[in-house]
Structure 1
Amino acid sequence: MIRLVVIFAALALVRADVKFEIINREGGPVWVGVQGNPGHPHLHGGGFALNKGQTVTLSAPDNWAGRFWGRTWCDPGSKHCLTGDCGNKLECNGAGGVPPVTLVEITLKGWGGLDYYDVSLVDGFNIRAFIEPVGGRSRAGGHYTCKRINCLADVNGKCPEVLKIKHNGMTIACNSACNKFNTDQYCCRGAYNKPETCKSSTWPVNYPAFFKGQCPDAYSYAYDDHKSTFTCHASHYRIQFGA
């Protein structure tokens, strides 16, 4: 009997893997960046290249937390990317992406045992993306449970002129107001470091309204939580860059 208890206890400690299926639907190569939150591994060394139409599947512990992003206009020789660069290397190995960059964020087994996931434009936009749970389940229905979150609009093409990042006359990314102007109000810091004092509707220009209009389910600025965070419980998530 004691032996059976030990065996079951050991099995309980084995963590099931969660699968991340990552797809490139852009017109050319995308270098994917992966950064684990503190205490979590950087999957696949933190980065890899995806050719057009290619899919790579990663496995993560079922309590993993971190982010994914797409790097574009990357030079295989110098390993420098014009957007989302993590320090002139293919495997980011803990380094984050240089803004502006579209982020796909997830925390597995968060509060209440649920997975929390989002698409964030807080650091601006560089590439279209979505994340969706495959075969996930929720404890309650609603708009913010087990849903695919899209940001598939032509944000770069419609970006306000002052926020455009250009290369050879082409807009390759759309800056955030914080990254562009670096003020306490636009960055929700200092006297503006809480939801009550940092409301984009009171900013000199409500730039988050542009991002929210393009991608309603994505984070548009730091205190956009209530309309941007989704929950589910799944063992398989699909992440796509491009449309």
Structure 2
Amino acid sequence: MTQQAPQLSVVVPVFNERDNVAPLVGEITAALRGVLPFEIVYVDDHSRDDTLDVLRALKAQVPELRVIHHVSQSGQSTAIRTGVKAARGAWIATLDGDGQNDPADIPKLLAQRASAAPDIKLFAGWRVHRRDSGSKRWASKWANAIRSRMLRDATPDTGCGIKLFERAAFLDLPYFDHMHRYLPALMQRAGWKTVSVPVNHRPRSAGVSKYNNLGRALVGIADLRGVAWLIKRGKLTQVREIE
């Protein structure tokens, strides 16, 4: 049977998440089958465990699943961009591969989009009740406060992995490593509006986190300065076609 062209592409970047792949794919299909035509694009960022083998086996069972592999480790932002470029849907939903984002929230984001103005191109998940360690929650709160003050993006939680955005608008943004943490500010810089939507957040059930607070903070300082510069140097021009 011919697969219907997807309206939505769910992009999931993964690195060493072999035990989280099958449960998350099952939850995505349960949330979206019968809602709209969709595809799932997993991007394996050169995992060192057998994540890719698990994905290969699962691909034979799940017709919506596509698998892309980085031949060298390139980071989460690059993996997301790889998935978005390969996606066939006009809209993209992203999820972290660790299972902490709840795929059942994707229909909630789609419902928000259905009633939103056309100039809103990003619906960002907002983890109102974090299910992380105390140190991780504190570090995130500190980082969000600094980012909000510098970028004035009116977004309480840019680090949440579940987002819904227009593919074309995303691909028009400047690309750099770690850009996925600054999507609201970058979308606003491009002249689009963004909204934050409360979503569920779950404890990690398998595997280990790939980040530490100190490393993330050190990289974040440089990133913030760069994004602030991009915003300052950005320029929007109104255009119209002459009939």
If the length of structure 1 is used for normalisation, what is the TM-score? Answer: 0.32
* Structure ID, larger Rg: 1
Greater strand content: 1
